Amino acid sequence: MQKTLSILITLFISSTAITGFAAANTDRGAMLANTCLGCHGIDGYRNAYPSYRVPKLGGQHEQYIVVALKGYKNKTRSHPTMLAQAGSMSDDDIKSVAAYFAGQGDLQEGSAKSGSAISRGEKKAAVCTACHGAAGVSMMPNWPILAGQHTDYLIQAMSQYQNGDRSDPVMAGQAAALSEQDIKDLAAYFAAQSGLFTSSD
């Protein structure tokens, strides 16, 4: 009994030594995430104006969250609240908070939806899935997962690449040719796939 206990204690001490650094980062990430959860942790929470749902971060790639936060910070993405949030964070803080949100668990099963916009969107999505992955689950860590994201947020994001409020050379090229109807159909399709979820604390 005594022996088992001491083995357990040794195991505990050595595992804390190894994970100590990661744990410190996770704690920092969790602390920073408190503010974020006020918007990103509430299911269906809306941006005041224009009105669209705050994007889901649960299950999103860690590296892409970093790319997005730096985009607000460097003003290649325009959103006053997110500029205020990201602008005050160091690169290390950005990494810690991204790890916190990305580490919330596996992608979630969506409620299987169908409809005419979704099936039109599926056909139009063939060009997108080269980068955003089959059914919108990107395999590249720095490219966003679109699957399961809110429809109205996807519409907002695509419109911003189109009108230059987000300047990303790759997506500007992709969005340029899309009609308003294409944007709606593509958003309906990607939102209906199993994928991202609203984070919890």
- What are the residues binding ligand HEC (CB under 6 A)? 32, 35-36, 38-40, 47, 54-55, 57, 65, 67-69, 71, 77, 79, 81-82, 85, 97, 127-128, 130-132, 143-144, 146, 149, 154, 156-158, 166, 168, 170-171, 174, 186
Task: Report, in Å, the least distance between residue 73 CB and ligand HEC.
Answer: 11
Task: Report, in Å, the least distance between residue 80 CB and ligand HEC.
Answer: 9
In the block, which residue shows the tokens 């790319």?
67
Joined tokens for residue 152:
């109205």
Compare residues 1 and 169 and give the one whose CB is closer to ligand HEC: 169
Q: CA-CA distance, 184 to 171, in Å (whole number)?
A: 16
Joined tokens for residue 200:
């919890």
Task: Report, in Å, the least distance between residue 112 CB and ligand HEC.
Answer: 21
Q: CA-CA distance, 65 to 171, in Å (whole number)?
A: 16
Report which residue type is found at 80.
P
Compare residues 13 and 169 and give the one whose CB is closer to ligand HEC: 169
Q: CA-CA distance, 3 to 197, in Å (whole number)?
A: 45
CA pseudo-torsion sign 175, 82, 68, 53: negative
Q: Quick check: 162 and 154 in contact, CB under 8 A?
A: no
Compare residues 135 and 171 and give the one whose CB is closer to ligand HEC: 171
Task: Report, in Å, the least distance between residue 149 CB and ligand HEC.
Answer: 6
Compare residues 7 and 127 and give the one whose CB is closer to ligand HEC: 127
